[in-house]
Chains A and B, each alone.
Chain A
């Protein structure tokens, strides 16, 4: 007899995270497949009101964990709170979405329960044992693993689940569970927040004009800046550029930078190494400007101009201005 599926529903001070829909959808689907009950886990008093939103994804039970030390996010307090719940209800699965918090909290849970943790999974199946596919290299490779444990702790790779509302009149029961937590775990609770009000960011921009080593210098980016400004977009770059100190790391696209999904990605003087590509591959259209026709970026792009970017970009800027005037 297996227990229920617990799904960690992420929120910040009572504000549901955009990833919550993915988590709830994945958990409900797994519950149906394994014929098991699914329960949302809401950590902290602030999350009590989120039950109705969980219901929209077809989850019928939520546990709201409360304690004075759960007032704001802390990886250790949140992790230990879920451990306390797991000790009470002996779940078969604990799920999350592999966001910063989703992976951090489940790593805490797994470490505290002495159980394995499969981060960033794309497939979760139960055969004789848990059979998981998970991503490696930020998405460039997949790894099939078998998890040797009754309890499966796993996060789903962020953006690999399409959130889906569940039709019908969805009722949810929210059970408040008070948990006893060692107050010393409050040592990693958020102390302060700095809110940055920015307009378009690299990850939300509809146009990204990106430069690589081929741009040649920090000054060389002025042309890319101008084009990005004209199109209401943002400037991105490759790691070769950040390593040279030409741009700040905040502009880096790729495995260890930002993942982007613009309407069009204009990649100038970027070879398209696999670690760069995983950050750019969600772009709807890609235009590569490169002197090398065989560059990976060119062969993978839908559109290309095979020429010196320092000649092409100014010409494009002129043409945009001409058509607008």
Chain B
């Protein structure tokens, strides 16, 4: 099974997200970075798939040179091949441009080494949350795609994919080659092992520069939604506060 997972490097802010002085990006001066959570799960799913069925997991990202960090992490948790599409513009590409670059990269990778049976994206990126890159790539490649997937079973060349809705689960069946948008919760991603850390050091990262035009969505500025200022009523500093807590529950009518 040849699997491709597309991941995004995103900042990992704590209690507040600060905005850069030019208002175009998140101020990452004091932040670490991580792989967007849905994609981390997509990668885990891919690793489990090749453990069961054999094959390779290619991990691809479009991002700054530093996104190598996320590809190396991927190497420590089951990725086998790594591709970086450099974008050193200092900010994200718009969704059309990102999708276009990824599509071109996939075409090149497939021309060299054969078709991917399964391509996985995260349902949406944690930061920009555009909800479209995977769909655009799938449409460009004329492959089936379903988003919001929280369960995948493989039978022959058919992927049975499950999506949670309010009332239960929707079941889809996609024939390879297929594309899936995966959600956090589909699995519990593993932590790197010693062996994984070694693989991470040795991983070779292919750099795939791609020329793409900007799409139609132009960022003007980032800003913060109005914040609600709350006066915190401290009910107590020990277990003795229980009586006041229960008074509160009673007042709210939930007792």
Contacts and interface: CB of A to CB of B under 8 A. Distances in A.
A264 B252 contact: yes
Contacts of A2: none
B44 to A, nearest CB: 12
A200 interface: no
Query: What band does the interface of chain B fall in when counting residues whose beta carbon is under 8 Å from A?
Result: 35 or more
Contact of B252 (A135, A140, A250, A285): A285
Contacts of A73: 170
Contacts of A320: 246, 249, 255
Contacts of A196: 167-169
Nearest to B232: A304
A111 B216 contact: no
B129 A137 contact: yes
Nearest to B244: A305
B222 A250 contact: no
Interface stretch (B74-82, B104-112, B171-179): B171-179
Interface stretch (A25-33, A117-125, A163-171, A214-222): A117-125
A14 interface: no
A119 B37 CA distance: 19
Interface in A230-286: 231-233, 239, 242-243, 245, 248-250, 252, 255-257, 263-264, 271-275, 277, 281, 285
A192 B171 contact: yes
B28 interface: no
Interface in A311-325: 311-312, 314-316, 318-320, 323-324
B63 interface: no
A111 B37 contact: no
A298 B232 CA distance: 7
A285 B230 CA distance: 11
B230 A302 contact: yes
Contact of B172 (A108, A119, A188, A277): A188
A187 B222 CA distance: 39
Interface string A45-76: 00000000000000000000000000001011
A300 B245 contact: no
B136 to A, nearest CB: 4
B206 interface: no
13 contacts: A117-B217, A136-B128, A144-B220, A144-B222, A189-B172, A191-B173, A264-B249, A301-B230, A304-B233, A305-B234, A306-B236, A312-B239, A315-B242
A-B interface, 4 closest residue pairs, ranked by CB to CB distance from nearest: A249-B185, A315-B242, A116-B216, A111-B139
